[in-house]
Amino acid sequence: MTEHGLTEGCLKAILNGTKLDAPVVVQLLDHRVINNNNNTGQAAQTKRFRLSLNDGRNSFTYAMIGNQLNDAMERGDFPNYSVITISKHVCNSQGQPGQQKKVLIILDMTLKTPGDQVGGKLGDPQPLNDLGNNPAGNAAPPSHPAPQAANTGFGAGGVRPQGGQNVSGFGNNNGGGGFGGGGNNQGNGNKSGGFGSGGFSGGFGGGNNNQSGGFGNNHNNNGPRPQTNGSGNKNANNQNFGGGPPSKRPNLGGNNGSAAPNPFRPNNSGNFAPNSGQNNGGMRQQTPSFPNGNAANNTNGSSFGGGGFGGSSGFGGGAPNADDMDGFGPGETPKNIFPLGALTPYTNKWTVCVQVKSKEPIRTWTNATGGGEVFSMWLADASEEMKCSAFKNEVTKWFDILQPGKWYYIRGGQLKPPRDARFSKGKSLEMTMSGETLIKECTEYMEPPKITFKFVPINELQDQIPNNVIDVIGICSVVEPHTSFTSKLGKQFTKREIELRDTSQLSVRLTLWGAQAESFDEANTNAVLAIKGVKVSDFGGRTLSAVPGCDLVVNPDIPEAHSLRGWFDSAGAGTAAQSISSGGGGSGSTPWANLLEVTERVHGTNLDVKGYYFEMKGTIMKVENTDRVDRILYRGCPNKIDGDKTCNKKIIDIGVGQWRCERCGVDHTTFNWRLMLSLEIADFGGCIKFVGVFQEQGEALLNRKAHELGEMSQNDMSAYQAALTALHFQSFIFKLRARMENFNDENRLKYNVIEVKPLDHVRYQGIMKDGLRALLTE
């Protein structure tokens, strides 16, 4: 241990694969934000943080943190020069073979000493290189002479030969084929190149001691080789176009052999090498490859059509593909496991060990190019969670194997930004299986991944943008039975409405869907629910809807739940909560409709019992009878009946300042003004007349009490009429009831206002957008 308790030398040990059982203490020298960009050019939602660390002996500049630590970094919990304790980490390699670098990924860390108390860099750490093997610039010289660099691409030829010259080409040095001539020929020079060669791997073109360029040579193993190729090629080890099976194409290299060769046979090292025989100009088959890019006694580069291992690629070649089955055979365990939080769209050859948190049923899809089956699931490890989807053949291959709650190794697939952000739970990446995906069950015990919540209080939901995906916690105060319905497209859905409340004395309606709605226990009433992944909607006030794969935890063991439980048991249970979801909407019990839709829905329907309830945005075209006070106001009986209930029956003026209630049989000297409006309301779908509005809703429309309007009617008739006509052409959100009533033996459809609210333009725009989406999907 050094000053401030730094674990000296731990960085190099971790990067070289040493397993450390105890947490390590290091210094955070610096950090920077790396923004991931998706393929649409828009910034991804998740930032990445790159850290520079110091253990007192060495420093390393390529450390990353898991996404679960992003909030702490953004809050400034870990300032530069702080001493931190790393309790969980993984180390992985990224990049192509020969170009790899180590990445230290921190999954859990805590602050030990703030940076302002440390004041600067501790010790004199030597920087580690990308592989973490030696301090940069101080690496020990190799015990054997290093081979010539395996460069590729367009360039000069290879190492200049002794006693000769390298005349031509788009070239490369020893170890990799490409365009160009030359090689590591210590004999006579390369007189004329064609499309290049490599010292130990073939490509297009002339090779060592090539008098007239053919299509390449291939010396597959180390050690001396005869140096002839091209026209008049007499070397059995050389083959045009890299060597290969017999071909019907013409002999481009002018070879003399007459017998068709056996194109591949094992060589002395156990690898495949071109066989001796005639050069037929065929395409060279790629040699078997290995995860670390090496094979026994084979360190040469690759060329067009394939090549050796360990070197860099030339045109059309590239580093050999890793052996995708490594670790997935019987009795094997995959290595180099990446945490989900460390994956990016540019991560290559990754393997993850994840738990299947949830799995959706198989469904079908169709589009202009075809259709098939698809299923989705949510995967998680200690660092992150991610949605994964499988299509067509991958559904048949993997659906029955993958079971919720079990752990699996998964290798291969596409990583890209979500196709539909509404179902991504705010994540910046999702996984799609491909034909190269490998899956193997992990039988070792793995600690279940912890769910991290970012709760939004109910009183802050009004500030959330519709379609945002958030986390919420509350007391489950209402659990309604689950119901099933058929959409306009003929699909069956199951949903259940529940209500959550918290210490803000507000409540919000949450809709559960599918199997989650069916399995939710009604006994959870008054339990604490924490839900990760709910979508905010303004369809019916502020409402929430569970997204596929959301996490719902009953009575979680977290501080927020304990605090909420204590409040509810001590005081909350005896108080009423105000709903921010009142009025309903498309996801509630009161549908949204325009007057044209209402007319179609109520036609031929028996509405004489409960009636038909709906919600609409309407404009008041006219207030009826503004010149007749008795049609709008009346005096009501103030007598109390049935406890605290007021009679409010219309009373009769009997003179001498008294009024009589025929219902109560009592004479009164006082009364209550009662309000009864009759409106004409219209929207773009039609117009309805004689809509009844009573006391509380009329007062809400006028923004004044009934007794104030009554006094105006007695003292200032012009002010009274002005207060009523001020409602003309004003728009509100109305909840209405349509019911058939009998008047003089004639049935009439009567509308009454049940609730009225000011027009919320943001909410109304959301409703219109939802309506347009529904039209487009029909």
DSSP code per residue over 686-702: EEEEEEEEEHHHHHHHH
Residues 501 and 386 in one domain: no
Q: What percent of the chain has pLDDT over 90?
A: 22
Whole-angstrom distance, CA of residue 218 vs CA of residue 183: 11
pLDDT digits (tens, 9 = 90+) for 633-684: 999 998 887 666 788 889 998 888 889 998 888 888 999 999 999 999 999 9
Residues 430 and 464 in one domain: no
> Is there a domain that residue 135 lies in?
no
Confidence class for position 560, pLDDT limits 50, 70, 90:
very high
Strands 43-54 and 351-359: unpaired
Residues 569 and 436 in one domain: no
Residues 371 and 462 in one domain: no
Q: 555 lies in which domain range?
A: 458-579
Mean pLDDT of 700-708: 92
Q: What is the pLDDT of residue 778?
A: 57
3-class state of residue 343 by DSSP: coil
Supply the angle between the helices 706-715 and 717-725 in degrees, to the nearest 10: 140
Q: Quick check: 493 pLDDT over 50? A: yes
Of the residues 111, 127, 143, the one at which a domain ends: 127
Of the residues 127, 158, 177, the one at which a domain ends: 127
Cα distances (Å, whole numbers) of residue 424 to 284, 385, 418, 465, 468: 45, 10, 6, 16, 10
Q: Which two tokens stand for residue 129?
A: 């290189």
If phi > 0 it is left, if psi is from -120 to 50 it is alpha, else beta; for residue 98 that is left
> Is there a domain that residue 747 lies in?
yes
Whole-angstrom distance, CA of residue 209 vs CA of residue 192: 9
Other CB atoms within 10 Å distance of the CB of residue 274: 27
For the whole model, what pTM was predicted? Answer: 0.41
Q: Quick check: 291 pLDDT over 70? A: no
How does DSSP classify residue 635? E
- 206 vs 743 pLDDT, higher one: 743
Q: What is the pLDDT of residue 732?
A: 94
Mean pLDDT of 10-18: 87
Residues 19 and 111 in one domain: yes
Of the residues 96, 127, 158, the one at which a domain ends: 127
Confidence class for position 391, pLDDT limits 50, 70, 90:
very high
Strands 58-65 and 126-127: parallel
Residues 425 and 536 in one domain: no
Which residues lie across from 389 on neighbouring strands?
376, 432
Whole-number mean pLDDT of the chain? Answer: 73
Q: What is the pLDDT of residue 603?
A: 64
Residues 399 and 516 in one domain: no
Strands 506-513 and 578-579: parallel
Residues 526 and 562 in one domain: yes
Q: Which two tokens stand for residue 595?
A: 């007057």
Whole-angstrom distance, CA of residue 181 vs CA of residue 172: 8
Mean pLDDT of 282-304: 37
Confidence class for position 187, pLDDT limits 50, 70, 90:
very low
Number of domains the chain contains: 4
Confidence class for position 608, pLDDT limits 50, 70, 90:
low
Whole-angstrom distance, CA of residue 156 vs CA of residue 172: 6
Residues 571 and 602 in one domain: no
Confidence class for position 160, pLDDT limits 50, 70, 90:
very low
- DSSP string spanning 361-396? PPEEEEETTEEEEEEEEEEE-SS-EEEEEEETHHHH
Q: Quick check: 777 pLDDT over 50? A: yes
> Is there a domain that residue 16 lies in?
yes
Residues 750 and 613 in one domain: yes
pLDDT digits (tens, 9 = 90+) for 92-120: 777 666 667 888 888 889 999 998 888 88
Confidence class for position 285, pLDDT limits 50, 70, 90:
very low
> Is there a domain that residue 304 lies in?
no
Nearest to 243 by CA among 218, 260, 262: 218
> Is there a domain that residue 288 lies in?
no
Q: What is the pLDDT of residue 397?
A: 92
Mean pLDDT of 479-493: 75
Residues 393 and 495 in one domain: no
Helix residue ranges per DSSP H, 240-293: none
> Is there a domain that residue 303 lies in?
no
Helix residue ranges per DSSP H, 402-443: none
Which of 52-66, 267-281, 540-554 shows the lowest per-residue confidence on average (mean pLDDT)? 267-281
**Any idea what the Cα angle at residue 621 is, between residues 741 and 702, rounded to 5°?**
85
Supply the angle between the helices 695-702 and 706-715 in degrees, to the nearest 10: 70
Confidence class for position 713, pLDDT limits 50, 70, 90:
very high
* Total residue length of the chain: 778
Helix residue ranges per DSSP H, 245-370: none
Q: Quick check: 425 pLDDT over 90? A: no
> Domain of 113: which CATH number?
2.40.50.140
Whole-angstrom distance, CA of residue 109 vs CA of residue 90: 13
- 252 vs 70 pLDDT, higher one: 70
Which of 342-351, 467-476, 624-633 shows the lowest per-residue confidence on average (mean pLDDT)? 342-351
Q: Quick check: 417 pLDDT over 70? A: yes
- 643 vs 33 pLDDT, higher one: 33
> Is there a domain that residue 422 lies in?
yes
Residues 620 and 744 in one domain: yes
Nearest to 777 by CA among 530, 489, 583, 510: 489
Q: What is the pLDDT of residue 490?
A: 64
> Is there a domain that residue 367 lies in?
yes
697 φ, ψ (degrees, to nearest 5): -75, -35
- 284 vs 415 pLDDT, higher one: 415
